[in-house]
Amino acid sequence: GGIALSANASDSKTSSSSSDALVFDPDAYTKLTKTITDTEGTEHKVVYHFWKAITYVAKPVDATYQSLIVSAPVEIDGKAVDASNAPILFANSVGGYLPASVATATEVGGGGSAMGGGAAPSGAPSASASTSASASAPGANGNTNATGGATSSNQLLALAAGYVVIEPGARGRTLKNSGGEYYGTAPAAIVDLKAAVRYVKSNKGRIPGNVERIVSAGTSAGGALSSLLGASGDSPVYDKYLKEIGAADASDAIFATGAWCPITDLEHADGAYEWNWGANDLSTGKLVDQTVSKALQAQFAEYQAGLKLRGLGGFGPLSARNLDEYMVEQYLQPSAATYLAALSDSARETYLKANTFITWSDGKATFTWADFLTHVGARKKDTPAFDAFDLSAGENNEFGAGTTLARHFTAYGAKNDSTGLSSKRVASDIPAKLDLMNPMHHLVAKVNPNRSKHWWIRLGTKDSDTSLTVAANLAARLDNLGDDVNHLYYWDEGHGANTDPGDFITWIAQVTG
Ligand code: DHB
Instruction: Encode 365-381 in three state secondary structure.
Output: EECCHHHHHHHHCCECC
- Nearest Cα to 153, choosing from 310, 231, 38, 62? 38
Residue nearest atom 7 in ligand 1 by C-alpha distance: 96
Residue 133: its pLDDT value, please?
29
Q: How many Cβ atoms are within 10 Å of 493's Cβ, its own excluded?
A: 20
Residue 210: its pLDDT value, please?
98
Distances (CA, A) of 268 to 94, 262, 409: 21, 13, 10
Nearest-angstrom CA–CA distance, 237 and 180: 27
Please give the single-letter amino acid code of residue 187.
P
Residue 113: its pLDDT value, please?
77
Residue 106: its pLDDT value, please?
96
Residue 137: its pLDDT value, please?
29
Between the CA of 165 and the centroid of ligand 1 the distance, in Å, is: 24
Residues 6+ apart with CB under 8 A from 246: 8, 11, 18, 22, 57, 58, 59, 60
Residue 152: its pLDDT value, please?
64
Nearest-angstrom CA–CA distance, 513 and 509: 6
Residue 176: its pLDDT value, please?
98
Residue 114: its pLDDT value, please?
58
Nearest-angstrom CA–CA distance, 304 and 107: 44
Mutate to test the pocket of ligand 1, among 144, 386, 409, 493 (most ligand atoms within 8 A of CB): 144
DSSP labels, 242-265? HHHTTB-SS----SEEEEES----
Cis upstream peptide for 431 (omega within 30°): no
Total residues belonging to the chain: 513
Residue nearest atom 2 in ligand 1 by C-alpha distance: 146
Between the CA of 134 and the centroid of ligand 1 the distance, in Å, is: 11
**Up-side HSE of residue 51: CA atoms within 13 Å toward CB?**
23
Is beta strand 256-260 parallel, antiparallel or unpaired with respect to 454-460? parallel
Bridge partners for 57 per DSSP: 247
Between the CA of 382 and the centroid of ligand 1 the distance, in Å, is: 14
Measured from the Cα of 147, ligand 1's closest atom is 10
Give the binding-site residues of ligand 1, using a 6 Å CB cut-off.
95-97, 139-140, 144, 146-147, 220-221, 263, 394-395, 465
- pLDDT tens, 102-121? 999 999 998 777 554 433 33
Q: Is 449 helix (H, G, I), strand (E, B) or coil?
A: coil
Residue 20: its pLDDT value, please?
66
Residue 19: its pLDDT value, please?
53
Positions of the chain with pLDDT lower than 50, given as ranges: 1-18, 116-151
Residue 8: its pLDDT value, please?
37
The stretches of 9-76 forming alpha helices (DSSP H) are: 15-21
Q: Is 57 helix (H, G, I), strand (E, B) or coil?
A: strand
Mean pLDDT of the chain, nearest integer: 91
ipTM above 0.95, yes or no: yes
Mutate to test the pocket of ligand 1, among 220, 267, 467 (most ligand atoms within 8 A of CB): 220
Residue nearest atom 5 in ligand 1 by C-alpha distance: 96
